[in-house]
Structure 1
Amino acid sequence: MELDSIDRRILEVLQKSGRISNAELSEVANLSPSACHRRVQRLEKDGYIRDYVALLDPRKMGRPTTVFVEITLSGQADELLDAFEKAVAKVPDVLECHLMAGTADYLLKVVAGDTEDFARIHRKHLATLPGVAQMQSSFALRNVRQTTALPV
């Protein structure tokens, strides 16, 4: 399916205001409410809209510290990569895990309450992940820009 300018506008608005009513969205998209609803349903069905979520404030949730962890594994066998990925998916403090090309095998985005909490996460979870040979952690000092909105 090819996206037209109306689809792109709908996606743009929904990324920033996921709770907008269909009536308001139809006005922004310059469509009738029923036509707008059909388009949103099609965008959902075709997988352009993956999900609707509430974005929580990490500070209010007691997790103001963001740590980026580079992990190098002891090998590259499929079994080791699979075991690592299954185990890291179970660590609730890991918000993101990316398989990388470069110096590290994986890059993790971890949230913690503070440095002591991160030390606990490191000891209890990260250091026990299968195949970990080396880890390097970098603490974010300040969030300069963060968005969940993709360019459309």
Structure 2
Amino acid sequence: MNHESDQLDLIDRSLLRLLQEDGRRTTLDLAARVGLSPTGTSQRVKRLFRDGFITAVRAVLNPQKIGRGTLVFIEVRLDQAAPHVFDRFAEAVAKAPEVLECHMVVGGFDYLVKARISEMAAYQDFLKRVILPLPGVRETHTYASISDVKPDALLPV
């Protein structure tokens, strides 16, 4: 099986690991760590962006500090498995700022939603205001996280 990752050599993989750890690393720092010139390093990083191996560089915020300390996972079952229902649901959930991720899944429900809210006291409002009015929602089950065991894990490269 041919994967795009087969195009990556050891230096590319090292750059990806280093940038995942800290996206603010300078080209000089990266070059020193991988044993290339700054120009060669810069060209490789630009190629990794251009080829889609790196899709964004952003700050990781502390949810507690910004009033989003409660993490919930919500299983959502839709009332019918029609393409237009899935499309409407996906469009609507993409607009909800509390929703961090939403995945269509195979199994006993249709979507798994990951959301951050201020506290459990605000959850009922979030459920009534955001999740239940979404198109086609028939049933939900919610799981509140009580501990981040491995949050924001780095991808193995």
TM-score range, shorter chain: over 0.9
* SS of corresponding position for 1:151: coil
Sequence identity, in percent? 38
* SS of corresponding position for 1:128: coil
1:70 counterpart residue number = 75
1:97-136 mapped onto 2 (5 Å cutoff): 97-136=102-141
The TM-score normalised by the length of structure 2 is 0.95
C-alpha offsets along residues 69-117 of structure 1, whole Å, 9 cap, x if unaligned?
Answer: 0000001110000000000001100000000000110000011111121
Report the CA distance between 1:147 and its aligned residue.
2.4
2:50 counterpart residue number = 45
Contact 1:15/1:148 (8 A) holds in 2: no
Q: Pick from 81, 86, 90 the counterpart of residue 85 of structure 1.
A: 90
CA distance in 1 between partners of 2:137 and 2:156 (Å): 35
Spell out structure 1 runs of 4+ moving beyond 2 A. Answer: none
Report the CA distance between 1:148 and its aligned residue.
4.2
1:95 counterpart residue number = 100
2:29 counterpart residue number = 24
1:60 aligns with 2:76: no
CA distance in 1 between partners of 2:135 and 2:152 (Å): 32
> Unaligned stretches of 5+ in structure 1?
none
Contact 1:68/1:137 (8 A) holds in 2: yes
> Unaligned stretches of 5+ in structure 2?
none
RMSD: 0.8
Report the CA distance between 1:149 and its aligned residue.
1.6
C-alpha offsets along residues 118-137 of structure 1, whole Å, 9 cap, x if unaligned?
Answer: 11110111110000000000
CA distance in 1 between partners of 2:129 and 2:107 (Å): 27
CA distance in 1 between partners of 2:156 and 2:64 (Å): 27
The TM-score normalised by the length of structure 1 is 0.98
2:143 counterpart residue number = 138
Contact 1:58/1:64 (8 A) holds in 2: yes
